Amino acid sequence: MNVELVQTLAKIIRSLPAEERILLETELQGKYQKQNTLQKLQELGDRIQKRWSKKELEITPEELIIKMREERTEQLMKVCFPDREKE
């Protein structure tokens, strides 16, 4: 552990104006909140995976993405080229 670094950082933080210290605390709390949210999402993903691990998917994620892209392309073609449908 780098004791000198920690002591220097502590001195710098103590020397900050109140407004900047509040900003620093907000930034640090935001980081911890993001880590907590990520951990919760990972736990939820694990629970979902356990629940679905016994069942086979009807369609693979890759096939689903391809199908959705094809549907979206068709929608865009209808909007961009409405006369094409009449042919």
Percentage of the chain exceeding pLDDT 90: 21
List pLDDT tens digits, range 34-53: 778 888 888 888 888 787 77
What pLDDT is attached to residue 56? 65
For the chain, the helix, strand and coil percentages under 3-state DSSP, each to the nearest 5: 85, 0, 15
Does pLDDT of 2 surpass 60?
A: yes
> Counting runs of H as helices and runs of E as strands, what totals does the chain give?
3, 0
Structure-token match 């979902």, residue found: 48
Distance CA 83, CA 33 (A): 52
Burial 15-32 (b: 16+ CB within 10 A, else e): eeeeeeeeeeeeeeeeee
